[in-house]
Amino acid sequence: MSALMIIVPDRISDFVNKGEVIDRYYNPGNLFREVHVVATNDDKPDPAMMQKMAGNARLFLHNLPDSRREFLPTLGWRPWLLDRWVDKALNLARTIRPSLIRCHGASLNAFAAAAIKKRLGIPYVVSLHINPDEDVRGRARGLVKRLVTRAQQDIERIGLLNADLVMPVYQPIVPYLQRYGVTRYEVCYNALNPTHLRKKDDYRLHDPVRIFSVGRQFAEKNPDNLIRAVAKMPNVRLTLVGDGAGHAHLRQVAQDCAVAERVEFIQSMPNDDLCQRLPEFDIFATHSEYWELAKSVIEPLLTGLPVVINRRIGKPVPELTESICGLVQNTVDDYRRALERLIGDDDYRERLGRAAYTHAQANWSPAATEGKFAAIYRKILAANAAPTAVA
């Protein structure tokens, strides 16, 4: 299989620089000899830092900026006015001649992939990592942001309905696809670190007790009630990994609660190191109002680390049940009670951790998720094996 073309809207440098680099993430099973990552922006990450994401393939990076200045001239990205930008994507595909295209998200990248498929016969898949109705349109603030997010719906629909397969990374994305009438979809959980996640075998508590929390720090993922709960528990130490608009607020909360010496802030940590360290902690605890199964939560579950997470406002995350994690209200007292139960009941703590490990390994293990992506690629490539003339 010659080449895979991946069109992403993300600034890859942001997560590469933080060490969030997963082996073969862009080339599951080492299926392809070449991986061409096309960023729809001007980001230029270091290819050497990305190479292991392409596995054994030669890695190529391209830029195809979808200039925000084109929003008004195209009347809010009307499909029939996007020919100039789409032609650039078509020309790049003619040069690369990929066997398959993968899009991360359903924005202009998936719209371009639909045009490439129509003109050149190249199949494409779309992986979705959020529910845009819930986490983009539902959280848009200000008139301009609301107009932009609503304007995207026409190109979203085209990109999704014409895909050979849409791959939501968790169940809460499915209602968004059903609203558009998408029928060719399959839930494919995120491929995670295949080499550094280790099973937790020892459930004896450390002294002081070690609590770990990972996540972006902003309003919807604000763990300040967790800090306040820890402040009421004298023999507990909390390590917070993450950064964001709420970082200064969290440091101030720790100061105000006179617990700064027991709360460690780490703004970023390479994913290899983070996964390696997970079993060294006693409990993982976090807060999120997003309708998601975040990678930062799957990782501790995969190690068997007992997890405490809030019941979000709105519909629950179907993957997160009381059989594999402690579910609490987002209050200081609820976090404190949940943590105290795990600390005080050795049997419950170990039972919850081992149940989480068994369930997570059966559903989200790195080997299984990577294998699933590879199998999907093979199936789509086999179905499109007849030679297609490239215009």
pLDDT at 76: 57
Q: Calculate Rg over the CA atoms of the chain.
A: 22
Q: Nearest CA to 42 among 78, 13, 74?
A: 13
pLDDT band for position 20 (cuts 50, 70, 90): confident
pLDDT at 74: 56
Residue 279 has pLDDT above 90, yes or no: yes
Summary mean pLDDT of the chain: 92
* Residue tagged 């293990």 (tokens): 365
Q: What is the rounded distance in angstroms from the CA atom of residue 209 to the CA atom of residue 280?
A: 11
Q: Nearest CA to 171 among 289, 316, 288, 28?
A: 316
Mean pLDDT of 245-252: 98
Q: What is the rounded distance in angstroms from the CA atom of residue 106 to the CA atom of residue 152?
A: 9
Give residue-wise pLDDT tens across range 97-113.
999 999 999 988 999 99
Give residue-wise pLDDT tens across range 156-204.
999 999 999 999 999 999 999 999 999 999 999 999 999 999 999 999 9
pLDDT at 389: 43
Whether residue 89 contacts residue 70, with contact meaning beta carbons closer than 8 Å, is answered with: no
pLDDT at 381: 95
pLDDT band for position 51 (cuts 50, 70, 90): very high
Could you count the other beta carbons within 10 Å of the beta carbon of residue 226? 27
Give residue-wise pLDDT tens across range 205-222.
999 999 999 999 999 999
Q: What is the rounded distance in angstroms from the CA atom of residue 166 to the CA atom of residue 182?
A: 8
Residue 244 has pLDDT above 60, yes or no: yes
% of residues, the chain, pLDDT over 70: 93
Residue 325 carries which DSSP code? S
- Backbone phi, then psi, for 5, in 5-degree steps? -105, 125
Q: Dump the DSSP string for 17-85.
A: TTT---TTTTSGGG--SEEEEEESSS----HHHHGGGGTTSEEEEEE----GGGTTTTTTT-GGG-HHH
Domains of the chain: 3-188 (3.40.50), 209-363 (3.40.50.2000)
Q: How far apart are the first and last CA of the chain?
A: 20
Q: Reduced to 3 states, what is the DSSP secondary structure of residue 147? A: helix
Q: Nearest CA to 20 among 307, 295, 237?
A: 295
Residue 391 has pLDDT above 50, yes or no: no
* pTM over the 0.85 mark: yes
Give me the sign of the Cα torsion angle 282, 244, 21, 149: positive
pLDDT at 140: 65
pLDDT at 307: 98
